[in-house]
Structure 1
Amino acid sequence: MQKLNTRLFAAFAVAGAALLAACSGESEDNTSSPSEKSRATPRLVVSYDGGVRVLDGKSLEEVSDIDRDGFLRLNPAGDSRHVFVSTDDGFEVLDTGTWRESHGDHSHYFTAEPRMTDIEFDGPKPGHVVAHDDTITLFFDGSGEVTTMPGEALSDGQPETSDYRAPQAHHGVAVKRADGTLVVSRGDEDSRNGVAIIGADGEQITANDQCPGIHGEAAAAGGVLTFGCEDGVLLVRGGGEITKVPAPDAYARIGNQAGDDDSPFVLGDYKTVPDDRLDDDEIERPRKFSLTDTRSGTLRVVDLPTSYSFRSLARGQDGEAVILGTDGALYVFDPATGRQVARHQVIGAWTEPVEWQEPMPLVEVLGGTAYVSDPSTDTVVAVDVLSGTQVARTSIDVDVSEVVAVAG
């Protein structure tokens, strides 16, 4: 769940659009003049085969459509404004054109035309992007390279970065923490088995190899990090404490997780069929999910009356566990007890495609609003998470691949 971040750049709106553009890292070729608003303006970014489209977060009306070739993946930068767009050559940065300026006891809110900035991070097979502890961490699967930068840096143009390279390239993830340490996955092209904690001097502090198939990351209250394994979860606390939370099943892949900085509970998927037991044209369609209590180091497995996909997991504004089922319903659970607190029928029933790149329904939550895309009807729907009341609905003439919401 994306949080509001008020620590953005400060500039004087009365100084005019040119000065504001300079302070916000706007390039000279951006002729869109900022417009001040009375409140924050959320926006929704959707990717599709051919570009990215920016919608108004309230009305779902189109704000901008930007052409880009290829299969585009989206990752929030964590500053409530920018979005990383993964391309064949690396990461590009989209400015969604909505932001705030904080002045102590109050803020000013602005919007402008969304645009692709000239900020780029080149590298082979761009993978995970993690925003944590006011730091952005990029991981390149093709090289094992890790690139980190301050969380507010994108507002000032191409930022200075710090780099680290894993011993071997792999499909991995890394997280830079406030104490200067880097938590990075370990593995190679054939397998992955754990994490290492790297000090600010680049030397390894400690490591843990008890996480076969490590994939994905989430953050919980108290700065705890979780990493999914094929038999449970790894918890990383403090300077060098790494703890394994075993799953009740011998094989239990928790490869996708959704955390909340204010909640000790982490929502994860839960698959129990190894890939080598599936045919090439088969995928597991799980009907259970996991809730990890990072305080006690325990893992709860909860039944769901339908299946779901890796794009089905989200968190509500109060930490609720939100899951979009293949029956078209949005399920809301209390993460502390695993009790279902709401079910809202949002779209029609659907089937997860075998190829994960194919468009499928997905959910993205910002504040109290859940955004659900439905490729079968070419629509995007916004509903209230707790009541299920439809807030907005729009037809969209593209097959949505991924969605990111920004608060502005």
Structure 2
Amino acid sequence: MTRSTRPLSAALFGVLALGLAACGASTPSDTASASPSASEAGDEHHDEHGDEEEHEGHDHEGEGHAVTEASSRTPRLALTYDGGVLVVDANTLETVADLPAEGFNRLNAVGDGRHIAVSTTGGWAVLDAGTWSEPHGDHDHYWTAKPALHEVILEAEKPAHVVVHDGLTTFFDDGTGEVTVVEISEWTDQVEHGHLHPIREYQTAQPHHGVAVATEAGDLFVTRGDETTRTGAMLLDAGDAEIVANDECPGVHGETASTDANGTEFILVGCENGVLVLRDGTFTKIAAPDAYGRIGNAFSAEGSNAVLGDYGTDPEGGIGLTQISVVDLETNSVLIADPFEGSGAQYTWRDLARGTEGEILVLGTDGSLRVLEAHGDHLDVIRTIPVIDAWEVPEEWQTAHPALTVLDGMAYVTEPATGEIHVVDYTGGEVWKSADLGQEVIEIAGATG
């Protein structure tokens, strides 16, 4: 169900149901582009805003706001805190907007490099980060405008996973089991006109904390289960007929969709005893080495056979983890490793990411960012970068604690204890820039512009 969109009042945002578990991360196309080296970054970021022209008379898809033309893309970050959403220039780290939004809100980029879905009371609201590009023949024009937070555009009882794949954005409502698919290319027009035009909708047999992934070929990957038990997944054709199914994935959670080193598309979900992979219309269960070896969040990299995942062996162990998993799609095996090399440091699912060249990034409670490479049956720590002060894993996953994301080849690390954000050149091995946001931020998502 959709409804009209107007500027959001704070009263419309409430606390999102705490029953939503931490969601996995896929690899949307708007997060993978080349970045400068550390020495180049300073010049590029300095010059990026030096050639701007303001256009007041028309909005150039700026949703009614004054629009400024820039000489190149202007990536921005969205960060939630208790009471609002910050929009920050990813290059200068200056706060562009501070938008009120009550309650605990979650963020998911929708794939167009501009808009971000905000999971809140009543469904998904939309944040326009106010940065975008327009093709013009053999070149692009780059624009910025004042960010805007719009009210709920897609209603849901429990708005949860949002997956970007094959030019499509797929939403899953945990409260009803409703799946909604939207074309990424239509996001700007649909937000401006205040309602979505889904190209596909589907209702699961029973509501559950699930996920769906739509494909360009017209198929739909959907998890199976009910409110208490999640068993696996199935693939449906364009007419919702079941093509194939697999129920060997207890506790299915967290997804990623990409292509492997051979160019084969795959969809992977985590299980309490390994992962389930869909390739070429066939499901393959890849078992974990432990009877209970939960992979709940997965992170792929385009063209890589290695899929990063978290890893837990204690059902009652909390959100703090010491081991990571790396699924090898060539050998259908799972490698378990301690990225902290026995130091006792921990991490949570918010502290995992992939670099633009497939690097594995892990932020530990010792405050250091580790860069690792997968080599078949082992992992190598190639770089350890001190970034923030030591911190402790909280008991509740909703509690603010350091988060990690990658945008345009740079890692962004939040430090809620100090209200800061840090830009890390993970290839050069140093913190490039830091800034005080003035808030204890929780979630982070990027808009490439």
Is the CA contact 1:5–1:79 (under 8 Å) kept in the aligned structure 2? no
Between the aligned partners of 1:130 and 1:112, the Cα distance in structure 2 is 26
Amino acid at match of 2:210: G
Between the aligned partners of 2:282 and 2:57, the Cα distance in structure 1 is 49
Is the CA contact 1:219–1:260 (under 8 Å) kept in the aligned structure 2? no
Superposition deviation, residue 406 in structure 1? 1.5
Aligned with 1:374 (options 407, 415, 419): 415
Between the aligned partners of 2:28 and 2:179, the Cα distance in structure 1 is 22
Aligned structure 1 segments of 4 or more residues deviating by more than 3 angstroms: 1-6, 16-21
Is the CA contact 1:139–1:173 (under 8 Å) kept in the aligned structure 2? yes
Amino acid at match of 1:98: T
Amino acid at match of 1:172: G
Superposition deviation, residue 335 in structure 1? 3.0
Instruction: Evaluate the alpha carbon distance shift between residue 111 and residue 119 of structure 1 in structure 2; reply closer, same or farther with a 3 A threshold.
Output: farther
Between the aligned partners of 1:256 and 1:4, the Cα distance in structure 2 is 19
Question: What's the counterpart of residue 251 of structure 1?
Answer: 292
The residue correspondences of 1:257-276 to structure 2 (distance < 5 A) are 257-275=298-316
Is the CA contact 2:292–2:314 (under 8 Å) kept in the aligned structure 1? yes
Which 10-residue stretch deviates more, 246-255 or 294-303? Answer: 294-303
Aligned with 1:295 (options 330, 354, 357): 330
Is the CA contact 1:77–1:83 (under 8 Å) kept in the aligned structure 2? yes
2:148 matched to 1:110?
no
- Give the TM-score of the pair, scaled to structure 2: 0.83
2:77 matched to 1:44?
yes
Between the aligned partners of 1:296 and 1:219, the Cα distance in structure 2 is 18
SS at the partner of 1:308? Answer: coil
Please report the RMSD computed on the Cα atoms of aligned residues, expressed in angstroms: 1.8
SS at the partner of 1:224? Answer: strand
Question: What's the counterpart of residue 325 of structure 1?
Answer: 364
Is the CA contact 2:421–2:436 (under 8 Å) kept in the aligned structure 1? yes
Between the aligned partners of 1:284 and 1:41, the Cα distance in structure 2 is 34
Superposition deviation, residue 264 in structure 1? 2.4
> Deviations for 1:179-237, whole angstroms, at most 9, x for unmatched residues?
11110111111110100111110111111000000001012323211100010011111
Between the aligned partners of 1:65 and 1:388, the Cα distance in structure 2 is 31
Is the CA contact 2:339–2:381 (under 8 Å) kept in the aligned structure 1? no
> Deviations for 1:132-172, whole angstroms, at most 9, x for unmatched residues?
00000000000000000101211112331021011000001
Aligned with 1:316 (options 331, 352, 355): 355
Aligned with 1:206 (options 237, 240, 244): 244
The residue correspondences of 1:183-194 to structure 2 (distance < 5 A) are 183-194=221-232
SS at the partner of 2:188? Answer: helix
Between the aligned partners of 2:327 and 2:111, the Cα distance in structure 1 is 23
Amino acid at match of 2:323: K
Superposition deviation, residue 370 in structure 1? 0.6
Is the CA contact 1:265–1:336 (under 8 Å) kept in the aligned structure 2? no
Superposition deviation, residue 336 in structure 1? 3.8
Between the aligned partners of 1:361 and 1:121, the Cα distance in structure 2 is 29
Superposition deviation, residue 3 in structure 1? 3.4
- Give the TM-score of the pair, scaled to structure 1: 0.91
Question: What's the counterpart of residue 172 of structure 1?
Answer: 210
Is the CA contact 2:423–2:432 (under 8 Å) kept in the aligned structure 1? yes
Is the CA contact 2:154–2:196 (under 8 Å) kept in the aligned structure 1? no
Structure 1 unaligned regions, length at least 5:
7-13
> Deviations for 1:341-400, whole angstroms, at most 9, x for unmatched residues?
111010011111010000001101112211111111111111101123222211122211
What percent identity do the matched residue pairs reach?
41
Between the aligned partners of 1:285 and 1:65, the Cα distance in structure 2 is 31
Instruction: Evaluate the alpha carbon distance shift between residue 399 and residue 37 of structure 1 in structure 2; reply closer, same or farther with a 3 A threshold.
Output: same
Between the aligned partners of 2:224 and 2:134, the Cα distance in structure 1 is 39
Superposition deviation, residue 119 in structure 1? 6.2
Is the CA contact 1:41–1:111 (under 8 Å) kept in the aligned structure 2? yes
Between the aligned partners of 2:395 and 2:31, the Cα distance in structure 1 is 37
Instruction: Evaluate the alpha carbon distance shift between residue 124 and residue 378 of structure 1 in structure 2; reply closer, same or farther with a 3 A threshold.
Output: same
